A and B are shown apart, each in its own frame.
Chain A
């Protein structure tokens, strides 16, 4: 059974800092990996999708990397802003086309 873990569980940084969120998964037989953002009580917004054959994807201040063989992904956020405060979830799509979510990292960016 696929298990997805995110470290740290919570993170507080001052505005302007660069930061890295980590995601690890136990079964490397994945189709792709997605990073989502969730604001409190809201739905999920897809930030980046990395296909299993890719190493990284970039969107604005966000950069996600994937090392499928070691079961790891990182989400790098540059020049963090208070508006980045949210819970960040990584999720992997397995061969059964099911999305398995990680445990999440709650990010707080302070002024």
Chain B
């Protein structure tokens, strides 16, 4: 099973709402990632968790708050977003982070398409 499950698939929220994106994997991976992808652009890394600890934050605004409650689950809490935050949010996982080979392969979920009104 190489599946990364993201919920919800679509989300529409107002600028004053609080919502959360959820990502789950049961492959025993210890690294999990959040990416943001705007239309016709490549994904951009937001956060990396390694062994449930935040290891990389790519200077993401505080209105995005990641959380890794356990090794299988990754959340992204959203609050006071702006319309320009509308994008496809992708979650990924890999066996490890610091590996030169196959343990670094990232498996991606289908994404959550977020619209901020």
Report which A residues bind B (CB closer than 8 A).
31-32, 34, 36, 41-46, 49, 51-53, 89, 91, 93, 96-104
Contact, CB under 8 Å: A99 / B101: no
Chain A residues with CB under 8 Å of B97's CB are 97
Q: Assess A97 versus B48: contact at CB under 8 Å? Given A41-B88, A49-B105, A102-B42.
A: yes
Report which B residues bind A (CB closer than 8 A).
4, 6, 33, 40, 42-45, 48, 56, 88, 90, 92, 97-102, 104-111, 113
Our count of residue pairs bridging A and B at CB distance below 8 angstroms stands at 62
Q: Assess A32 versus B108: contact at CB under 8 Å? Given A41-B113, A97-B48, A104-B42.
A: no
Q: How far is the CA of A76 from the CA of B99 in the complex (A)?
A: 26
Chain B residues with CB under 8 Å of A31's CB are 99-100, 104
Contact, CB under 8 Å: B43 / A32: no
Which chain A residue has the least Cβ–Cβ distance from B97? A97
Chain A residues with CB under 8 Å of B111's CB are 41-43
Contact, CB under 8 Å: B110 / A42: yes
Which chain B residue has the least Cβ–Cβ distance from A95? B98
Contact, CB under 8 Å: A43 / B104: no
